Chain A
Amino acid sequence: MKQIFKISALSLGITFTGATAAADLCNVTYQAQSNWGSGAQLQVTVVNNGSSINNPTLSWSYSGSESLVSFWNASSVTQSGKIFTVIENGSVSTGGSFDFNIIINNPGAAPSDFLLNGVSCKTPVGTGSVASSSVQTASSIKSSVSSSKSSTPNSSSSAGTTNTAAWILDDSTSMLNMVTVKKEHVAEIGGFSQLKGSVDKNGLATLQVDLNSVDTLNATRDSRIREFLFETSLLPHLYYSVQLNLAEINAMQAGSTSIQTLNGSLILHGVNTTTPAQVLITKLNNGKISVTSLKPVLISAPLFDLKWGIEYIRSLVSPIPSSIGHTVPIYFNLNFAANSNPAVAALNIPSIPTTPVNLNATNNSGGMVTLTWADVSNNETGFIVRRKDNTGYWSKIQNLSSNQIMLEDLLSNTGTYDYKVIALNGSVPSSPTPIVTVIVDNITIDPVITGKTHYQAMCTGCHGADAKGLGGAFPALNVKREGALRESMINTIVATMPKGAAGTCDRECAETIVAYLDATFWQEPTPVYNEEISCTAPVNYGARQLRFLTREEYQNSINSLLGSGFIVDSLPGDSMLGHFISNTQRVMNSGAYEQYLLTSEKIAKWSADRNFSGVVNCNNNFNQDCANKLINEFAPRIFRRSLDNQEKLTYTSMANGSKTNGDVKAGMQLALEAMLAAPQFLYRHEVGERNPANTALASDAYQLTAYEMATWLAYTYTNTTPDAQLLSKAASGALVQENEITTEITRLMQSTAFKEKLGTFVNSWLATDSLNNVAKDPGTYPTLDFNALIPHMQQELAVFFSDLMLDPNGKFETLYNADYTYVNGPLAQHYGINGVSGNQFVRVATTNRGGILANGGFMSRWADAIEPSPIRRAVRVRGRMLCQDVQDPPANVGIGREQLLEIHKQELANPMTTNKRRFELVTSLESCKTCHEYIINPLGFGLEDFDSVGNPRTIDTKGNAVNASGTLYAPQAWSNNFASTAYSFVGAKELGDTMATLPTAQRCLPQNLFRYTTGIGVEDGWQQHGDYVLVDEAEIKAYACDVQDLKHTMMEQSPRKMLEQLGVLDTVRYRKAWARPTNM
């Protein structure tokens, strides 16, 4: 449903034209959704109070110099001089409405009048007729038009007359309840809260129930009732219409009653049937009547095709109830008020579509049934196809859009099946077609067809409908595999796919998927792997988002705003996004809010105790001027933008002492406390605003404002709140221009904070920030104080990485093949490097270490207490440096391990058994080979030349010679034939030389940097994010394309240039509200 944004008219300088009198020809609501001075976006809604009209034309005239920029939700909008003319398609009945949006330049005063089909809206109804435009048959009703627009009203009224309501339902005092029974004896009451109804002047009573408003006091049950029982996404309404004797009702004396037996039409769940109801009508007074059920109206589930839904819901309940009743009594009390306004129309039910004809079912081989029918209606919004199987329940197998005439139904069991097709106009069904019956006695599972179904359901999102992958992180599957590799693929699917829901596809499922891939994609010659993806979109859009400050960002912001000295130690914990701390998707909850309040309270008290030193300078004179200073000068720094009027009012009323018994200082403390826990401070806003002046942007795109860019740049490059220069440039609007953004980036990259941020990045990326997770065996390293060494190892990486990244002449390859490193005294001593002492880090030339791979910190992190861990090292090289995620070992993969250990007990205990041999033995189970044979072990074994405390070695801890021969298989993508694409190497330095040349490694750094800085990334197309999964391919593609851009810049220019480019990426500056389906 579209939303109408109501913005204070005064603040926008546009006169808000409210609804004219209800008895006028039309009510026009003309609202500005946003106004940026030189332009405005408007939403116009027109309610037609006159007779029904086709293809209405609305026109108006401006007094100023407004000009049309663009429009949507209208058939046409034209401008001639000062006159705007809008034409809508379709008909609009009495009481119906239509709306549209336009963007104009130079917005001024709102129009004083509107003309509908040439007649002023201010014309009282009945004093003039509306000239109809030429009649065109509307082929469909636009979804943007309000629901009251319909084709032919059910209660037909001749053209030009209004179907006025005689009585209108008072939904605030009416109720409709149902009683359900489970376990034979347990009765539960539920109800519906959204009711509409009327009685027209001819006595036709119509009731509409919004089935989404079901309430059984159990949210889970309500949700299931909506989804599985009523299927409200397709059939949201129940209708009941019945002819009343209006004359008799009107003649009733106030206080009298009348019992009537009604036989009305009940429309529910795609079935329209006559349903009796015995009611007591009470004339409360001349203006009010009450209609109450004397006997319950019995809803029979079989009659309304509801049995399947009931039984399905029953199967979901735990413990499963013995039964849920199939007959539901309905009780109601409906109160109506007399209507005296002739412009108020009676409720209309959409017209009944014509039943499809000639339904035919063909039983093809293998259990595929083909249904065909003829579409003879011209007002259907869609079709529903229902099937009854041996359970005896009718269930929907498919709902189709309008004009459809065929459906294929793939059955998996033999049996007798009945089919029927129903046309729908909204929730109003046609009669069903005559039932056709198919007897299926032979099901042959065609693995290719079944595999296709599975692939489309579970694999397309990541691997593409064409199996070509989505670039980089989502491998192509269109490469032929045979023999062991084919088996390996099946095993991988069973054990690990689909990502985030491993275990969903069993072996049979996996085999059919592979059969489908083979039949469809593997018959062609093997394509050459291409790391590059095609990026043709004019703009890559990021996501509109709010990002909670991390704890570090919060602390740094407090330091910047209030001065150092307060240690923030009671904030909620941070969340992780892949390898990085990121609160992009963190959700506030009560506990976290409590902690934010507690923290801000402490900070505000601390500041107040220091007389707000560093916040406002009032010479300890805490009066109104001082309070105003806090709000006018300091608050914008907290919120990182200027305050709007409401915010000024809110916080001024705190700061001025009016909430603290006149104590201004206490008031200022209160205001500070409030602001430091406010969403304006806690969230980094990346929301954006429309910018129609930028014609390159899509109509639904947003551009970050100057203030939002200031915030983004500040936290990305300095890890704290924007400084004065950034805020100043934001205030002037400069930071929406690329050259200004670039200038600021250049400035900010010179800061110490940025170097520190790069250090944080690399240590997070490689997980060396948690080096303290790994203990080293004092028996093996008796003189080593590893804990003391940890910060030095981390600093080595930080200095090396930031120095390389910031070097204008830096090269990507150096990241892996550097022949130098940085050490201080303690580290040099550990590494056995002479000539370095003290705590200062200096650059030293090396031959056996250098880069981020042949690095003490990385090698120590991924090692055990005594010996290295080839498995952990290999998994991290693939996952973190090549962006090839290796799944955790699935449960039960090691069954048989104990026997294995027993068999090899002697060899394992033999001191001459090397670490490599030990790992070969313990991963030799057949079930382990899927991952260990090619992906993990050969790579990890090549890194045995570094011990578990980060030093190169040729002898292991037991005195055996180290063999560091290794092989890197499939460095580009899993889809490659492992055996044919392999790099042999000996030791970490040689592997580093290879890594420097790999396109996957070259892409992996910018991919991680992107994710680190934006809080979202290419990987998030499959990864669980709280409770949703990104599924929009366009969004993932946008991120992948910007990452590719960064890679090109890094390789063609320098890593430094890549860092400069971050702040001007499309996905940073331009945003969309990408869809986020919930994952329930």
Chain B
Amino acid sequence: MKKPNIDQFDKKRRDLIKLISAAGISKGLLRASPLVSAMMYSRMAEAQSSVDKIVTLYIGNGALPEMWHGQPGNLPPFSAPLNEVADNILMVDGVQARNPHVGQNLGHGIIKLLMNKGWGGGESFDVNMGRILGAGKRHAYLIGNIHQNFNNQTNGVSRDSGNDAHTYQNPMTMFEAIFGAGTATPATTNVKKHIVDGHLEAVKALQSKLGQDEKIRLDAHLTAIEEKANQLASDPGTGGGGGSCGSPAALGAFPLNMGTIREQFRAFTDVFALAMKCNLTNSAMLYFGDDNAELSFSGVKVGNDAYNGTMHTAAHDHNNGRKSNSCCDQYPQWLAQRSEATKLQAYMIKKFRDEGLLSSTIVAQVSDAGNGDAHDAARVPIVIAGGGVGNRRSINASGANSHDVWHSLAVKLGANESGRYQGFSNKTIF
């Protein structure tokens, strides 16, 4: 008599037994309690579903800690706009804006040390997660920046194999680059290969002429061409560039200036969500301003008076002798400007929630300072949403630093087990 196919059932049985043993539940209890056994099945099912995507949001210059940190649902003024997504967030207090590898606190001019282990080389957190989680995806990562003035940085912040990672300053261009014009066909794709071949030839000819320095840059150029060549070889074009989504409707165009930073933020958020939904990427990063927080929201009022100074100016304004009928006598301008950014942060979380992505995606907001007015590194505003982490909680991770946050995220995503993981830290805080 043939044996039934026991292997399939046997594996599930073995997995369950392992889970039970790990939970410390005795066989006796398991036999006695259907509730316990049902719970164990449920836990195992939950463990099978994966959190494999991350969106990282940078908003510079911190916040006023005593007016930021609190319990979701009852948050103080600086973070109050997040109350509408209270069920989905974890508020993290106690983290110091510090890079432990270099041994330096963060702040103006030091944004690179937030995202990277050091000043040079390696991969930034967002790129590293993208390369690990999204290996094989059409876009290993997506990075957008809004009004990055690179005040003290001569090049980009995010790094890919030691070089600047590609960053989009225009969400429309990002959309177009991801989803294309929907005109790619096998015929046009075949013709594009000749272009790429010609470029490959030219870069190699240049390499033979140059010394080691430019060779490194040309190697990167070669890599970019080769990646395109591989993409053309593997994807003949189907008339739509959007992966599993075909050709979604294009974004509406709008000018890029200080007056449209809200639209830019929402546009980037929408593109990120769409790209993840279409399985095109697993990591997205948005730099909202630079490390001097030179962003200014239009239409902001303090009391009855319009206030349109930048977030940086607002942080140092100390009310300038003006009266205010809101809280925070010292910082009403900062509250007014910073809250606008927090509203956008809430939009991002809601977007991912409404698109059904929040259970598999972590949306992490970080900063490079605690109290931005005091240039203080303590108590950075950090909010983690989704991915099973954000669930109407707050924690105090006293003694932790910025890179412990990265590591904690990496562990949640399972990325720390990869040989490619940069090893931002070895401490988890949530």
How far apart are the CA atoms of A570 and B173 in the complex, in Å?
Answer: 6
Cβ A1025 vs Cβ B155 within 8 A: yes
| Residue B376 interfacial (CB < 8 Å) | yes
Closest to A683 in B: B206
Cβ A545 vs Cβ B214 within 8 A: yes
Within 8 A of A (CB), among B405-427: 407, 416, 419-426
Cβ B119 vs Cβ A680 within 8 A: no
| Residue A892 interfacial (CB < 8 Å) | yes
| Residue B129 interfacial (CB < 8 Å) | no
Q: Which of A217, A660, A864 contacts B317 (CB 8 A)?
A: A864
| Residue B7 interfacial (CB < 8 Å) | no
Cβ–Cβ < 8 Å partners of A980 in chain B:
none
Q: Which of A218, A319, A901 contacts B318 (CB 8 A)?
A: A901
Contact flags (1/0) for B18-42 with A, using CB distance below 8 Å? 0000000000000000000000000
Q: Tell whether A901 pairs with B419 under 8 Å between CB atoms, given A573-B167, A864-B309, A1026-B164.
A: no
B223 CB → nearest A CB, Å: 8
Closest to A592 in B: B166
Closest to B122 in A: A1080
Within 8 A of B (CB), among A1031-1080: 1073-1076, 1078-1080
| Residue B195 interfacial (CB < 8 Å) | yes
Cβ–Cβ < 8 Å partners of A770 in chain B:
149
Interface of chain A, main secondary structure: loop
Cβ A890 vs Cβ B160 within 8 A: no
Cβ–Cβ < 8 Å partners of A646 in chain B:
201, 205
Cβ A1078 vs Cβ B176 within 8 A: no
Closest to B213 in A: A1076
How far apart are the CA atoms of A653 and B106 in the complex, in Å?
Answer: 55
How far apart are the CA atoms of A892 and B372 in the complex, in Å?
Answer: 10
Residues of chain A at interface, number, CB under 8 A: 108
Max chain B C-beta neighbours (<10 A), residue from A588, A593, A677 = A588
Cβ A1078 vs Cβ B375 within 8 A: no
Q: Tell whether A598 pairs with B176 under 8 Å between CB atoms, given A674-B199, A890-B105, A891-B105.
A: yes
A318 CB → nearest B CB, Å: 3
A-B contact count (CB 8 A): 287
Within 8 A of B (CB), among A631-679: 646-647, 650-651, 653-654, 659-660, 670, 673-674, 677-679
| Residue A529 interfacial (CB < 8 Å) | no
| Residue B202 interfacial (CB < 8 Å) | yes
Cβ B214 vs Cβ A544 within 8 A: yes
How far apart are the CA atoms of A898 and B426 in the complex, in Å?
Answer: 34
| Residue B11 interfacial (CB < 8 Å) | no
B166 CB → nearest A CB, Å: 3
Cβ–Cβ < 8 Å partners of A1073 in chain B:
210-214
Q: Tell whether A587 pairs with B220 under 8 Å between CB atoms, given A318-B426, A502-B104, A774-B310.
A: yes
How far apart are the CA atoms of A199 and B214 in the complex, in Å?
Answer: 42
Cβ B206 vs Cβ A546 within 8 A: yes
Within 8 A of A (CB), among B191-211: 191-192, 194-195, 197-199, 201-203, 205-206, 208-211
Closest to B422 in A: A220
Cβ–Cβ < 8 Å partners of A64 in chain B:
none
Cβ B224 vs Cβ A588 within 8 A: yes
A642 CB → nearest B CB, Å: 15
Closest to A573 in B: B169
Cβ B164 vs Cβ A586 within 8 A: yes
| Residue A482 interfacial (CB < 8 Å) | no
How far apart are the CA atoms of A28 and B209 in the complex, in Å?
Answer: 24
Cβ A892 vs Cβ B376 within 8 A: yes
A567 CB → nearest B CB, Å: 12
Cβ B217 vs Cβ A576 within 8 A: no
Max chain A C-beta neighbours (<10 A), residue from B120, B159, B369, B371 = B120
Q: Tell whether A679 pairs with B203 under 8 Å between CB atoms, given A317-B423, A908-B321, A1080-B120.
A: yes
Cβ A318 vs Cβ B407 within 8 A: yes
Cβ A659 vs Cβ B194 within 8 A: yes
A892 CB → nearest B CB, Å: 6
Cβ A779 vs Cβ B217 within 8 A: no
Within 8 A of A (CB), among B2-23: none
| Residue A464 interfacial (CB < 8 Å) | no
How far apart are the CA atoms of A651 and B317 in the complex, in Å?
Answer: 60
Q: Which of B103, B154, B212, B305 contacts A503 (CB 8 A)?
A: B103
Cβ A888 vs Cβ B318 within 8 A: no
| Residue B377 interfacial (CB < 8 Å) | yes
| Residue B320 interfacial (CB < 8 Å) | yes
Cβ–Cβ < 8 Å partners of B155 in chain A:
575-576, 585-586, 1024-1026
| Residue B319 interfacial (CB < 8 Å) | yes
| Residue A687 interfacial (CB < 8 Å) | yes
Cβ–Cβ < 8 Å partners of B316 in chain A:
922
Query: Which are the 7 A-B pairs with shortest beta-carbon distances?
Result: A591-B166, A1073-B211, A891-B105, A318-B423, A503-B104, A894-B374, A1079-B120
Kindly list 6 other residue pairs between chains A and B, CB separation below 8 angstroms, not including A546-B206, A775-B296: A590-B223, A773-B294, A773-B310, A897-B371, A905-B330, A1027-B121
What are 21 sample pairs from A and B whose C-beta atoms fall under 8 A apart? A316-B423, A504-B102, A575-B156, A589-B163, A593-B224, A595-B177, A598-B176, A660-B191, A677-B199, A773-B294, A779-B305, A864-B317, A890-B105, A897-B371, A897-B374, A908-B321, A1024-B155, A1027-B120, A1073-B210, A1075-B212, A1079-B121
